Amino acid sequence: MKYRHVVLVALVSGALSVASFGLAQDKRPVEFEDILSMKSVGSPQISPDASSVLYTVSAWEEGDKEGTKTFVSHLWRVATDAGEATQLTFGEKGESGPRWSPDGKWMSFLAARGSGKTNAKTKIKDDEPKRQVWLMRTAGGEAMPLTEAKEGVLDYVWSPDSSKIAFTAKEALSEDDEEKKDRRDDPLVYEDDARFNRLWVIDVSSKEAVIQTEAADFTVKGRPSWSPDGTRIAFTGAPTLWLRDSRDDIYVQSVGGAAQKITENPGADRSPAWSPDGKAIAFLSIPNNSEPLPDGTLIQPLINAHLTIYDVQKGSLRDVSTGFDRIPSNPRWTPDSRRILFTAGDSVYREVFAYDVASERYEKLTDKRFLGLGSVSADGSRVAFTLESAEAPADVYVSGLDFSAPAKLSDVHPETRELELGKTEVIRWKSTEGFEVEGVLVKPVGYVQGERYPLMTVAHGGPTGAHHDYYRVRYGDGGQHWAGQGWAVLYPNPRGSTNYGETFMRGNLADWGGGDYRDIMAGVDAVIEMGIADPDKLAFQGWSYGGYMTCWTVSQTTRFKAAMIGAGLTNLVSMYGTNDVPSYLGTFFNGTLSPETEQLYRDRSGLTFADNVTTPTLILHGGNDQRVPIGQPMEFYRALKDRGVAVELVFYPREGHGLREYYHRLDRLKRQFEWVTRHALATSAATSE
């Protein structure tokens, strides 16, 4: 009862944060379990008549085996007049991908339900049911499965008249290969998985599914887009399944007919969206004019994706990116076909932009927001999205297409109102070359001006990524937990980061560990000069490229008293030949590894300077990481061990490039906190439970 008046204020005002109104005495610092208990809200889909919104809420639930936990999502529905939210699905393995049929009669979603199937010949049971499209009447009732894709459905979209659904699914194994797989006769030829993703169309009434790209020499990627008359489908196709291959094209195919490729760019063309009037297809294009390698792959260029429009009648393409220096994502048309909406990172935020087709101008529709764009109602009157800030986690909102007065519909995180957070602010400082660099600073809980605090610096991944000003309780670096334990935390966006224009993003080409490192160090100095950071109590951490930057930092300076390298690149020479995206790495080092480029790869590897390292270093890594293979942490661990530096290497079984399992995530939080606190503060950390 004591929070009732707080909730009402939030609903009436549409505010992003909840005022404490004198409840500070009831609040407490963030604990490890608070981070893991945070729910995730996503996929907001507004109904055609704008009366309600479907969305997903994901959280950790008890797993199949006693004591295990599984992260699953379920469907929720809430009225746009701020009615009570209702959970619609409760499947053991969860549900995702909510959609409305255009006529508003059906709600659909993806779910893996059932007990799997038994091979008729080997009698071996596949205990894992595959994800299929399920339908549920808008008025309510039991859900029923629609598709029976043998390998499961990847993505899907309704036809405009609601009679069909187009979906993508991986090719099934032949009967012989299925039997070999069942008896574990399954050698894997490297980079030679020939099973493409295929496009299918299924009739909702008869449940008859017809493959559309059966003999195509490409794999279908992403979500298809129907023409308004329901006769054609636009989609992305790629000649290989290799992650390192960026040759994606846009195809248009009549239902039951042959596919026509409408782009010839050797680079990546993705995310097609057919205009409601049928006249155009908008998509994102990354031009690539590099010379192909002997196997046909290309070094990926480091440039912004360009918003591009294809004139369906004329068959012509128009690059409309001039004047927009950010990276657009997920374009979608307004119902009147006059504008294209999309989100793009801008500074430390994720904003909504619109491109006006007639005036050929871009307009920024939001300001200092971190927003996840959902969908627009059929009449264009309202749009659904998620919104979060440094003070409040993501919830579902609706507004008009000007985004001027967002109304909050959900209240997924009431428990967070008892948490005391460190104040977050966006700060700027001068680089060594004199230009401005930006970052996010989280101050300690109970911060007192004039007092100095230990500082944790967190390098972001990518390097084409960025730190944002969002709710930091739910992220794996534990930012608000550090704040609750008396630390300041700096999240710098050095050159090479996105969200600041193409020139800035290209600022670390052939210069990893150069200008980006100096920018971060200048940020640390700035926080010291602000009188906040104690220069004798500095720590550093990062994951992926952030792990690279951590490795590089401890090899270049002894300023930091403790460090954590997460999934980090330590030896770029061996990294090139063993990871799954060598063409991306080559982008930053003047091309593929060769006698001409090897010295640059070697000179920018932290391992090369292992003799300089004195910082106690914790190394965490997924045991099945193919993006940054496990040799990377092993090489650096051995180098530090041989030199008598305090080091610990921990592998997390089954994990890839990020940690997905509950107890692995919890271990990371606890282990890095204990390690850093013990070494940076020369004391044993009090476990925060």
The reported pLDDT for the residue numbered 222 is: 93
- DSSP codes of every residue in 578-646: HSS-HHHHHHTTTSSSSTTTHHHHHHT-GGGGGGG--S-EEEEEETT-SSS-THHHHHHHHHHHHTT--
Contact 269, 239 (CB under 8 A): no
Chunked mean pLDDT (size 10), the chain, 689 residues: 28 31 69 95 97 97 88 97 90 96 98 75 67 95 95 97 98 87 86 87 97 94 97 95 86 96 93 98 92 78 95 97 96 97 98 98 97 96 97 96 95 95 97 94 97 98 96 88 98 98 96 98 98 98 98 98 98 96 93 95 98 98 96 98 98 96 96 97 56
* 486, burial (CB in 10 Å: exposed 0-12, middle 13-18, buried 19+): middle
Sequence-ordered list of residues with C-beta below 8 angstroms from that of 494, at least 6 positions apart, any chain: 431, 437, 508, 515, 516, 517, 518, 519, 520, 523
The reported pLDDT for the residue numbered 411 is: 95
Q: In the chain, what are the domain boundaries?
A: 420-680
Angle, helix 515-529 to helix 545-556, in steps of 10 degrees: 70
The structural architecture, per CATH, of the domain 420-680 is 3-Layer(aba) Sandwich (3.40)
Please compute, for residue 39, the number of CA atoms within 13 A of its CA located in the half-sphere on the CB side: 20
Please compute, for residue 303, the number of CA atoms within 13 A of its CA located in the half-sphere on the CB side: 17
The reported pLDDT for the residue numbered 688 is: 44
The type of residue at 122 is T
Alpha-carbon span 385 to 375, nearest angstrom: 7
The reported pLDDT for the residue numbered 26 is: 84
Cα 479–480–486 angle (5° rounding)? 100
The reported pLDDT for the residue numbered 108 is: 98
Which residue(s) pair with 59 in the sheet? 72
Alpha-carbon span 250 to 254, nearest angstrom: 14
